[in-house]
Structure 1
């Protein structure tokens, strides 16, 4: 039986105010700035760039988790998650980063159970090791996880699926979601691709809009 609705959100740059890879680069891996340029020039795949940066630290698990706790979040996400759940919807995180730091933050902030679709990661040799399963139905050679395919799978379980994102990887699920919210770089990308969206810079913006419409 299909459920009524789900609100799916990207993590880095959407729930968080800053991508975790920048926190790692600025704190421990200055060489990552040149790597970032290579990635943006198309010389590296997204998952290659992230895997290299996340394995560049030499930290204890406690030090790594303390660094994760410094990821600044959009404060509006907390009341929004509560509102979605109270209204009978499901809040879901869909990230092309890794589930390691997402699960750590869910634990740190003592959030309710939140489904997370992301690249599997674990602490190993002073950093985060990302594990890719090429047989996974959601596998993507470029991103590790195919966000568009995840959204299409969720649409079999829900009558209506929202999506909210901020950057290029989010342009793919934008084509499949029933309703799309976009911010930052994603706005111009979707304009260029002629893909429909609603602009929202914060979760407070989204919350206010859905509240006025009776969703929450």
Structure 2
């Protein structure tokens, strides 16, 4: 059995802004109404995202540039290296799509980071999602069942830590050995009596790992 896995959500956790909000603000203002319907649970997460991502109507080069322009937590690249240097494996777990995640990793030269997410691809000026019900981690609402991924990793690793920021992250948080919560996830986990460590950045997570002697403070 392997020693340690650190699993991170992407949108709003690694990235400062959800990719769908960037699309809505830049290309799809009508998406605000759709957002309200989604938040009132009239529309499933996967249907909301699919509709937004298919409303960009730009060439692939422009979409990739938009992805590159999205801000991330500046400490993430160093944090990933710190995890890897201390015998851990870093994973990204997202209910968005791997299309923009993989471009972000490429931009920052981040390697050896497996991505669990909904498959995404460029076609006809938009980003399309390929969600297969036959996938072992399929979920009807989110496209990907984050809890299943965490539980599967726990079969392979002695310790699985997780960080997230929103409602979909409340489900895998139940199964992680340690959950770091950003933003609204803190209140959700409080209400559900799920233990967590409140943080606002990966710098704070690293400080906790150093204090816990999971990683060294060197380097």
TM beyond 0.5: yes
For residue 164 of structure 1, what is the aligned residue in structure 2? 163
TM-score (structure 1 length as normaliser):
0.98
For residue 65 of structure 1, what is the aligned residue in structure 2? 64
C-alpha distance in structure 1 between counterparts of 2:196 and 2:90, whole Å: 19
Alignment of 1:150-189 (within 5 A): 150-189=149-188
Alpha-carbon displacement from aligned partner over 1:77-106 (angstroms, at most 9, x marks no partner)? 111111101101011000000000000111
Alpha-carbon displacement from aligned partner over 1:95-148 (angstroms, at most 9, x marks no partner)? 000000000111111112210000000001111100011011100000000000
Structure 2 residue ranges without an equivalent (≥5): none
Structure 1 residue ranges without an equivalent (≥5): none
In the TM superposition, residue 69 of structure 1 has moved relative to its aligned partner by 0.8
In the TM superposition, residue 45 of structure 1 has moved relative to its aligned partner by 0.3
For residue 138 of structure 2, what is the aligned residue in structure 1? 139
What SS does the aligned partner of 1:107 have?
Answer: helix
- Is residue 77–residue 108 contact of structure 2 (8 Å, CA) maintained in 1? no
Alpha-carbon displacement from aligned partner over 1:9-29 (angstroms, at most 9, x marks no partner)? 000000011100000000010
Runs of 4+ with deviation above 4 angstroms = none
RMSD: 0.6
C-alpha distance in structure 2 between counterparts of 1:75 and 1:14, whole Å: 11
Alignment of 1:54-133 (within 5 A): 54-133=53-132
In the TM superposition, residue 42 of structure 1 has moved relative to its aligned partner by 0.8
Figure out how many residues of one structure are paired with residues of the other and give that number.
Answer: 215
For residue 51 of structure 1, what is the aligned residue in structure 2? 50
C-alpha distance in structure 2 between counterparts of 1:84 and 1:16, whole Å: 18
